[in-house]
Chain A
Amino acid sequence: AQRVTQPEKLLSVFKGAPVELKCNYSYSGSPELFWYVQYSRQRLQLLLRHISRESIKGFTADLNKGETSFHLKKPFAQEEDSAMYYCAGAVTSGTYKYIFGTGTRLKVLA
């Protein structure tokens, strides 16, 4: 079965410290992976997609097929990064529905 795992429910870091939010996937075929973010009282919004290999708000994520991981990283955390982060994989045949992880709450402390 296709699965996305986020092992940490809560991650607390100090402002200026590096951040790594973990995501592992179990997929048949080639996955399309995304990171979505939900700030307080806002809707889910796309942060990154692996296919674009981009950096958004200082965040990057690299797909590691050997380790089946898609960890989200930022070298220097900012207080405004505090939010709920979800890793999601798209089923790439037919519906392109998402399989979400359980999410990690990031708290950046002053």
Chain B
Amino acid sequence: DTGVSQNPRHKITKRGQNVTFRCDPISEHNRLYWYRQTLGQGPEFLTYFQNEAQLEKSRLLSDRFSAERPKGSFSTLEIQRTEQGDSAMYLCASSFRGSLINEQFFGPGTRLTVL
């Protein structure tokens, strides 16, 4: 599979628990993005990695959220002490810096439900 993959696809958790999501980008892509999408809204930017460096974080990303991209390959997004407001679809996208087009390729998303 040459596309962006995300695991798990669905996660149900209780309020206060920690969750971690994984994103595997397209292998030659050096840019990686996380977005969050709630019902009736378009995806909203959360954070951006260029290789292993996290270069931008949205103010939407509270201190309960942390993201990593060790070795510039896969990325993880962790949410600590989940709240019901964290329920959303979490999307990962990747692209190649150096492309003239800046097209982002999206994964299928991880749907988080916080009870």
Contact A97:B42 (CB < 8 A) given known A44-B106, A45-B106? no
Contact of A98 among B40, B43, B107 (CB under 8 A): B43
Whole-angstrom distance between the Cβ of A40 and the nearest chain B Cβ: 13
Q: Is the CB of A96 within 8 A of B31?
A: yes
Q: Does A94 contact B (CB under 8 A)?
A: yes
Contact of A97 among B33, B40, B105, B106 (CB under 8 A): B33
- Which single residue of chain B is at the shortest CB-CB distance from A44? B106
| Complex Cα gap A98–B93 (Å) | 10
Interface size on A, residues (CB 8 A): 27
Whole-angstrom distance between the Cβ of A42 and the nearest chain B Cβ: 8
Kindly identify, within residues 83 to 115 of chain B, every residue whose CB is under 8 Å from any CB belonging to chain A.
91, 93, 95, 100-109
Q: Does A25 contact B (CB under 8 A)?
A: no
Q: Is the CB of A43 within 8 A of B106?
A: yes
Q: Does A102 contact B (CB under 8 A)?
A: yes
Residues on A close to B: CB < 8 A?
A: 4, 6, 9, 32, 34, 36, 43-46, 49, 51-52, 86, 88, 90, 92, 94-103
Closest 9 CB pairs of A and B: A100-B42, A44-B106, A95-B48, A97-B45, A43-B108, A96-B102, A100-B43, A95-B56, A102-B42
A-B contact pairs, 11 of them (CB 8 A): A34-B103, A36-B106, A44-B106, A86-B42, A95-B31, A95-B33, A95-B48, A96-B95, A98-B33, A98-B35, A103-B41
